[in-house]
Amino acid sequence: MDGAIGFVVAHGDTVDRARLSWLRTGAPPQPDVLASAEIGQAPDGGWPAFWAGEVASVDATCFRLAELDDLGALGRPPARKALDWLASRQRPDGSWEEDESLAAEAPEWARPGDPEATYYLTANAGYWLSVADADADTAGAGSAGIGAGDQGHRDAAQAAARYLAAQMRPDGTWPSYLLAGWLAAATLYRQAMFYESARMQGVLDDRLTTMAPGDVAQLAAALRRAGLADEDWLQVNARRRLAATQRSDGGWDGDPGDSFEVHVALAAIRACR
């Protein structure tokens, strides 16, 4: 933990260090940091991706919600508006896809009409609706701008969990990317579908030794945020893997560039704090 904290301090920007302060001590970020994290929100509540022009993106909106969560800002109006937008974008079968107008620009993982992309986006949107709804119930009405839970968000998260469970294969695998697996497992756990979540967690545990450190950190952070206990076998094994792969400078190997490595270190701190 000390090494990861030092790495973020040394290599992170202002927003990264504000995220670190919130994760460590609950210190609220300065208004200019929040403004920077919330900038660019579309009028309808979503955030566009860098590849999406001015059209709001499910993937980009979930990314912003993750950053705002690290700043303790999931209960602020921009985040609540984004959650409303996500719920409104859900399809009748409980899934999400990007807007059809983005088909030509969207990367593979977000391409409208692609089943793998649909599963990933559903796991991602369902995860954030589940996490935010649980926060709202815990905080209670009138606390930090969070109500006692939004029934629309709850219904959307439950529909997402049903979709994710229905697509699961008999061996516990899922028809999408690796990160969709831990987001789906976390969503299912948060929606009290413990058996289905445990089957996916078993597959994830089998893959831990071949995962990149950044994936391990994100997996452990997502499942811990969803309420999985610290002493759960998957969490214990993930922390062991992180300890074994940490560099002497406190960071972990990832894609080239310090920016991504700072995100990995923050995810590890979320998983282990």
> Model confidence at 147, in pLDDT bands (50, 70, 90)?
very low
The span from the CA of 235 to the CA of 229, in Å, is: 8
Q: Of 10 and 53, which is predicted with more confidence?
A: 10
Element (H, E) at 47: strand 47-48
For 65-123, write each residue's pLDDT tens digit: 999 999 999 999 999 999 999 999 999 999 999 999 888 888 888 899 999 999 999 99
Whether residue 145 lies inside any domain: the answer is: yes
**Stated length of the chain:** 273
For residues 212 and 258, the answer to whether their CB atoms sit within 8 Å is no
Q: What is the pLDDT of residue 258?
A: 56
Print the domain residue range for 144: 40-172
Q: What is the pLDDT of residue 138?
A: 58
Whether residue 80 lies inside any domain: the answer is: yes
Whether residue 53 lies inside any domain: the answer is: yes
For 48-70, write each residue's pLDDT tens digit: 988 878 899 999 999 999 999 99
Whether residue 250 lies inside any domain: the answer is: no
Whether residue 142 lies inside any domain: the answer is: yes
Which phi-psi region, left, alpha or beta, contains residue 95 (left: φ > 0; alpha: ψ -120 to 50)?
beta
- Looking at the predicted structure, is the pLDDT value of residue 8 above 70? yes
Whether residue 47 lies inside any domain: the answer is: yes
Whether residue 177 lies inside any domain: the answer is: no
Comparing 93-102, 156-165, 169-178, 251-260, the range with the smallest average pLDDT is: 251-260
Q: What is the pLDDT of residue 139?
A: 52
Whether residue 51 lies inside any domain: the answer is: yes
Listed in sequence order, the residues at least 6 apart from 161 whose beta carbon sits closer than 8 Å to its beta carbon are: 126, 130, 187, 188, 190, 191, 193
In the chain, the number of structural domains is: 1
